[in-house]
Amino acid sequence: MENGKMISSVEKIAFSAAADEGVLAEIDVVDAYQIAVLVDIDSHAGTATNTIVWVAPMEDQLLGSVVGGNSIRKTIDLTNTTGVFYLDRHDTAIAEPAFENAYRKIRVIADLVGAAHTITGSAYIFKKKF
């Protein structure tokens, strides 16, 4: 705490033409006790049939196929949808967007299905720290 106050920060990380299994952001979160992730999708390209964004722990070295059990939070299917979305799902259940931090680093990953499907936008990482 700084003078008895909690410190909050927001980090914006832009991504362009991110493809399936693409890492949209990789964030050091060792200093945070609570985290929330928001994704702002500006555009889709190619043929989109499925669009889900996940946040997963980096310690797992999750670079291959993304599966629900490995995610901390995810979005609903955002196929051909633009706008701002919190990653507020845990498996299939709606969850608080903010989660207690137990990780050193996290990744925000795009799970895209469709021919040459890519997305462009920004990821926002909200951190609360003492």
CA atoms within 13 A on the CB side of 13: 17
pLDDT at 15: 94
pLDDT at 24: 92
Q: Which of 22, 99, 26 is nearest to 66 (CA)?
A: 22
The answer as to CATH 2.60.120.380 being correct for domain 7-129 is: yes
pLDDT digits (tens, 9 = 90+) for 23-52: 899 999 988 999 999 999 999 999 989 999
Which amino acid makes up residue 93?
A: A
pLDDT digits (tens, 9 = 90+) for 47-76: 989 999 989 888 655 554 555 556 888 999
Q: Does the pLDDT of residue 11 top 60, yes or no?
A: yes
- Domain locations in the chain? 7-129
What residues have CB less than 8 Å from 90, skipping those under 6 apart? 71, 72, 73, 74
Of the pLDDT bands very low, low, confident and very high (cuts 50, 70, 90), residue 95 is: confident
- Please tell me the least confidently modeled range out of 4-8, 81-85, 99-103, 104-108: 4-8
- In DSSP terms, which residues pair with 23 in a beta bridge? 109
Phi then psi dihedrals of residue 125, to 5 deg = -115, 120
Determine contact, residues 124/14, Cβ cutoff 8 Å: no
* In 4-128, alpha helices (H): none
